[in-house]
């Protein structure tokens, strides 16, 4: 735990620092593809960037991303575009934006400085 306020002379002299938290691990409920994308997102940032309370948002973002990719590849097939697939893709990409918006500072939830 990080000491608040002024540090004592002993702490400064010893150079005592808090250990960084371990990187987030994907929940066991994720599929292999979801775990791979979860790990890719975690490893693309500073290890201290994410905290355990970010896990549910990351899981939602990962699932929405993979669904959007799947729908996009279905919509890109040379046959006549399916309006249902395109509509579903639009909804999923909107959800991805909403998940990202709820992770920004000022949103409800734990705040970091």
**Distance in angstroms (rounded) separating the CA atoms of residues 52 and 61:** 15
Q: Is residue 39 domain-resident? A: yes
Q: Is residue 87 domain-resident? A: yes
Q: Is residue 22 domain-resident? A: no
Q: 30-35 long-range CB contacts below 8 Å, 24 or more apart?
A: 30/59, 30/62, 33/66, 34/59, 34/62, 34/63, 34/66
Provide the residue range defining the domain that includes 40.
34-102
Summarize the confidence of residues 51-55 as an average pLDDT.
89
Structure confidence at residue 27 as a pLDDT band (50, 70, 90): very high
Q: Is residue 16 domain-resident? A: no
pLDDT in tens, 59-90: 998 998 998 888 888 777 777 777 888 888 88
* Whether the predicted pLDDT of 98 surpasses 90: no
Share of the chain above pLDDT 90, in %: 23
Q: Is residue 15 domain-resident? A: no
Q: Is residue 10 domain-resident? A: no
Give the C-alpha distances (Å, rounded to integers) separating 15 from 2, 10, 48, 100, 111. Answer: 13, 8, 20, 37, 27
**What average pLDDT does the chain have?**
79
Number of domains in the chain: 1
Q: Is residue 91 domain-resident? A: yes
Q: In 24-55, which positions are buried (b, 16+ CB within 10 angstroms) versus exposed (e)?
A: bebeeebeeebbebbbebbeeeeeeebeeebb
Structure confidence at residue 108 as a pLDDT band (50, 70, 90): very low
């Amino acid at each position: 735990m990080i000491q608040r306020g002024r540090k004592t002379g002993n702490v400064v002299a010893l150079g005592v620092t808090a250990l960084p938290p371990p990187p987030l691990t994907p929940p066991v409920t994720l599929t292999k593809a979801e775990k791979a994308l979860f790990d890719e997102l975690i490893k693309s940032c500073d290890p201290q960037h994410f905290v355990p309370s970010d896990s549910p948002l990351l899981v939602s973002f990962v699932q929405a991303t993979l669904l959007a990719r799947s729908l996009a590849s279905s919509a890109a097939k040379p046959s006549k575009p399916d309006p249902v697939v395109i509509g579903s893709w639009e909804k999923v990409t909107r959800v991805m934006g909403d998940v990202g918006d709820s992770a920004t500072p000022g949103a409800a939830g734990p705040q970091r400085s």
